[in-house]
Amino acid sequence: MRSGDCTIHSNSPKEQLSLGALGSYGWLSGEPTEFQTWAARSGKWRVYQPGQFVYFSGDAADGIYGLASGGLEVTFPLIAGEPVVLHRAQVGFWIGDNAELSATPRTISLMAATECRMLHLPHEAIRKLLDDQPKYWQSFYRLATINTNIAVGLLAEVLSLTLRARVCRRLLQLTDPSRDVTVTQEDLSKMLGVYRSSLRPILKYLAGTNAIRLGYRKISVVDREALMRFKDEQ
């Protein structure tokens, strides 16, 4: 399903004064109050269902998106259009800045991994803000820096850490407050860029040490400290 199929809400007066979780987590929470107020008034809330695409690689830029609830998968078409999962994003994550600021087509695709509530800051509103108040270019470049650091960090993990360390890091990142990770072993293998046959013995080992518990379509983190011990393994 394309983004046009999502549920779009007109902001209520209350929503115009609140950014929800985006006011407390991620890029926008660190920006000036007046910038946050502009975002709350200019943005539109959108709800996406699991498996629904927010946008595709090659689409024209239409603004940026902030994740207020749920989880997102960031994918890149590598070989013959086959998507590679680059990142599983959590609350506070913002995306779309690269294409928006450079006025180029999207290079990645963005899909809802679970039901997602997102704030969309439209292209027209961003351009008007920057035309009227160029000082806010710096705010958007801060977002670009955050996302560059995420990409560089993921690359560094692949090049320097063991697969067990990367599995532990991803499970720690994905764990929600209930300590459940709603992800299949196949999805986890895609995020890490490995075959399931390589992932399976590591999950079996972690389950054998009671660090995790394997269930149907989810992995429960039983002992975060046990995962922490392996997360820097080289």
DSSP code per residue over 44-73:
EEEEE-TT-EEE-TTPPP-EEEEEEES-EE
CA pair distance 162, 173, nearest whole angstrom: 17
Residues 93 and 181 in one domain: no
Instruction: Report if pTM > 0.85.
Output: no
Place of tokens 């008007």: 128
Q: What are phi and psi of 53, to 5 degrees?
A: -85, 135
| Amino acid at residue number 95 | I
pLDDT in tens, 79-102: 666 677 778 788 899 999 999 999
pLDDT in tens, 31-78: 999 999 999 999 999 999 999 999 999 999 999 999 999 888 898 887
pLDDT band with cut points at 50, 70 and 90 for residue 16 = very low
Residues 132 and 209 in one domain: no
> Angle, to 10 degrees, between the axis of helix 123-132 and the axis of helix 33-42?
140
Residues 26 and 114 in one domain: yes
Asked if residue 164 lies in contact with residue 180, where contact means CB atoms within 8 angstroms, the answer is: no
Least reliable range by pLDDT among 37-41, 88-92, 198-202, 215-219: 215-219
User: Where a domain ends, among 128, 157, 186?
Assistant: 157
Helices and strands, counts by H and E, the chain: 8, 12
Which CATH number fits the domain that encloses residue 50? Answer: 2.60.120.10
Place of tokens 């801060």: 142
Asked if residue 100 lies in contact with residue 63, where contact means CB atoms within 8 angstroms, the answer is: yes
Q: Name the domain count of the chain.
A: 2
Its domain, for residue 92, covers 3-157
Q: Which residues contact 140 (CB under 8 A, 6 or more apart)?
A: 97, 100, 101, 126, 130
Residues 81 and 173 in one domain: no
